[in-house]
Amino acid sequence: MMLSLMKYNISYYIKSARYLPPVLIFAAFLSINYQTMPIDIWSNLHLTSIAVYILSSCVAASFINSEDKTQQYITRLHVKNETTYHLSKIASIIIFLIPFYLLTVLIPTVFGYFARDILFSEILIYMAVYFLVSLLGISVGIFFNDTLFSAELAALAHIVTILVVAIPFDVIFADNPIVVYANHLLPPTNFLADRLHNLGEGAFLIDLNFLAFVAYAMGYAVILIALYNFVIQKKNKE
């Protein structure tokens, strides 16, 4: 059932063409980003991970809104389990996004844009970070749908949320403890800033801090997805 739903969701989304604005903007960003060579491996990861977060959040919002409300109701009745229906949407978004962050790391690797040869272990780190920030973007973006908000309010609130999460306020306002503390409550997309800012061509160590980031990011996303599932089901019953 889940695989059939995912196939249906992705097919429906592609036909809707709602993916075009965020995908075209992301493609434009990559083309600009890779104009200047050579590219530092770790600073590039930080920059592109923020872009992947924004892409994922925007795709998630447009994916959730792509299906007509009447069609959503019919599909939910057919599935019979609303939790399965909503989780299939999230799984479909993840599958849809995988090619984009594969390309994000493969393009500079294949065409030699990096300042040095990238190691296979470093590619794995890239993919892990992209997956995590993508999952965070999805878990935030799904809330901005026309079931929970009006279309105009959802779009405005989503833009504000993206800016708040993507801009490293804890770095800009490092002397303000309130801002730094508040930033820690947001999705941890800017965690890499501190780790990669002065790293240069040094080794990126998978230490306890990084593993803590992985656990925190996964936990944060899972909690948001569970909260969304609860809220959307409650809203659909009203």
Give average pLDDT by consecutive 10-residue segment, the chain, 238 residues.
85 90 93 86 86 93 84 78 88 94 91 87 87 92 83 77 73 68 73 62 68 86 93 81
Q: Where are the alpha helices (DSSP H) in 67-190?
A: 69-79, 82-110, 120-141, 151-166, 169-172, 177-184
- pLDDT at residue 195, rounded to an integer: 66
- pLDDT number for residue 71: 79
Q: Quick one: 132 exposed, middle or buried, by C-beta within 10 A (0-12, 13-18, 19+)?
A: buried
What is the H or E stretch that residue 7 is in? helix 2-16
CA distances 187 to 24, 55, 130, 234, Å, are 25, 15, 14, 24
Which strand (E) or helix (H) includes residue 231? helix 208-237
Question: Which pLDDT score is estimated for 201?
Answer: 60
In angstroms, the Cα distances linking 28 to 9, 32, 159, 198 are 26, 6, 19, 27
Tally of domains in the chain: 1
Q: What pTM value is reported for the model?
A: 0.89
State the DSSP H helix or E strand holding residue 19, giving kind and residue range, or none if neither. none
**Contact call for residues 118 and 33 (beta carbons, < 8 A):** no
Q: 123: closest CA among 144, 102, 143?
A: 102
Domain that holds residue 41: 2-237
Reported as half-sphere exposure (CB side, CA atoms, 13 A), residue 201 has a value of 8
Tokens representing 126? 């890239």
Residue at token pair 């800033």: 193
122 CB neighbour count, 10 Å cutoff: 18
